[in-house]
Structure 1
Amino acid sequence: MSRTAHTATAPVVFQAAALLLGYPDQDWPRRPRTVRETVAGLPGGEIRLLLSFCAEAEREDPLTLAARYVATFDRSRRRCLYLTYYTDGDTRRRGAALARIKSEYRTHGWLPPDDELPDFLPLMLEFAARVPEAGTALLTDYRAAIEVLRYALEAHRSPHAHLLQAVCRCLPGQAPASREEALRLTRTGPPTEAVGLEPLAPFPARPRSDDQGARR
């Protein structure tokens, strides 16, 4: 799979993926439609991946999508949207990693919602859309975790895999050659530090559930 970075379209891809990786609540039909209308006509394989997801999502009933979302992301540790879980697990050092990400947001004048952890992938993607240089660097620091999630979604045959594929195409550098290599890279330890375009819209808050809280 080619992952050539398209610097002009990467912020668009990041914001689109942030919107589409959010929980499909009552405003869901607007989100894939907005993304589809915004990216139509843009070049690149990552844009085709976004459109493929939108086409599939728009055919589904929102309640079915919501149930599938919970089954995909909230009931499996293999498909966690919180990236420091892959690098730090349920350990003490995860708190330091979360604080480091939050500090990076604040350094660039961005204040994410208080009711969400800073390593939530849609949050990190929105940051990369708003502050492309620093946000892309932060995503790249956690690329191994993103790739592990991508492999897991592909194995699960989830349409959300298209979104992770699109994001990975926009990240600089060499991608892990396999899931095993990506897993090895997540175990080397968290990054020591993290070093535009107007967003389509802010992504929606994700509803809380007991099993989600326990997992986090």
Structure 2
Amino acid sequence: MTLTDTHRMTAWQVQSLLMCYPDELLLERVPLLRAAVGTLPASLAEPLSAFLDHAETTPPNELAADYVATFDHRRRFSPYLTYFAYGDTRKRGMALLRFKHAYRAAGLELHDGSGDAELPDHLAVVLEFAATGDPVVGTRLLTEHRAGLELMRLGLRETGSPWAHVLESVSATLPPLGRREHEAVARLAAEGPPEEEVGLAPFAPPEYLPQGEPR
């Protein structure tokens, strides 16, 4: 089945929710999420259904603990997309501002990365924006950070993480990887994110400079 914009936007909305911390509200939404997944082509639906199966058969406290252990304590699975491109360097501040400006142009406003609000490059936030804000710009943001997404997908699959299913579905909404993207993934896997450049002055407000995240 050919993917339509509606398919992609529906998938991004489901993926966004599944990339959030699995609290009680998320688990209550599983029947609704299954109904949405049922409208999608197999390439998008099957991995999402696999994750929902896991979520429904795993004790909530175990699912939550697995999420924290995976995304909060392991940088190789950072859900913050700019981390893979810029590491914990000051250049990342400008990249985060670019996400915020894209959201603002679509009429959306985020908190400044404080309190319980996520930074604008968190995968769940980007997927939500692509689903409900501007799908064209959202696709571009995801595609620009494809190397990091692919590295995360491969790593999650290698470790047997259930969230690998979600990343499989995200990948299926995007164009196939080209030669340069494969090379970027291989380079990122070999070298890791960039390290700080000594003497580089910050070019973004403090709230968008790295302060210990990714969590």
TM-score category of the 2 structures, normalised to the smaller one: 0.7 to 0.9
Larger Cα-atom Rg: 2
- Show CA shifts across 1:60-89 (max 9, x none): 111110011111111111111001110000
Q: How far off is 1:41 after superposition? A: 4.1
Q: How far off is 1:185 after superposition? A: 6.3
- Identify which range, 17-26 or 174-183, moves more after superposition: 174-183
CA distance in 1, matches of 2:32, 2:178: 30
Q: How far off is 1:124 after superposition? A: 0.3
- Identify which range, 12-21 or 105-114, moves more after superposition: 105-114
Match of 1:37 among 32, 35, 48: 35
TM-score (norm 1): 0.79
CA distance in 1, matches of 2:182, 2:122: 21
Where 1:215 maps in the other structure, the secondary structure is coil
Size of the aligned set, in residue pairs, is 190
Partner of residue 87, structure 2 = 89
Greater helix share, 1 or 2?
2
Match of 1:80 among 62, 78, 81: 78
CA distance in 2, matches of 1:153, 1:102: 27
Partner of residue 131, structure 2 = 129
CA distance in 1, matches of 2:182, 2:157: 11
Aligned residue type for 1:83: L
Partner of residue 5, structure 2 = 7
Q: 1:15 to 1:172 in 2, by over 3 A?
A: same
Q: Percent identity?
A: 42
Match of 1:52 among 50, 53, 56: 50
Partner of residue 205, structure 1 = none
CA contact (8 A) 2:146 2:181 kept: no
Tell me how large the CA RMSD over aligned residues is: 2.5
CA distance in 1, matches of 2:82, 2:39: 35
**Structure 2 regions of 5+ residues with no counterpart?**
195-210
Q: 1:179 to 1:103 in 2, by over 3 A?
A: same
Moved segments of 4+, more than 3 Å: 4-8, 175-181
Q: 1:63 to 1:102 in 2, by over 3 A?
A: same
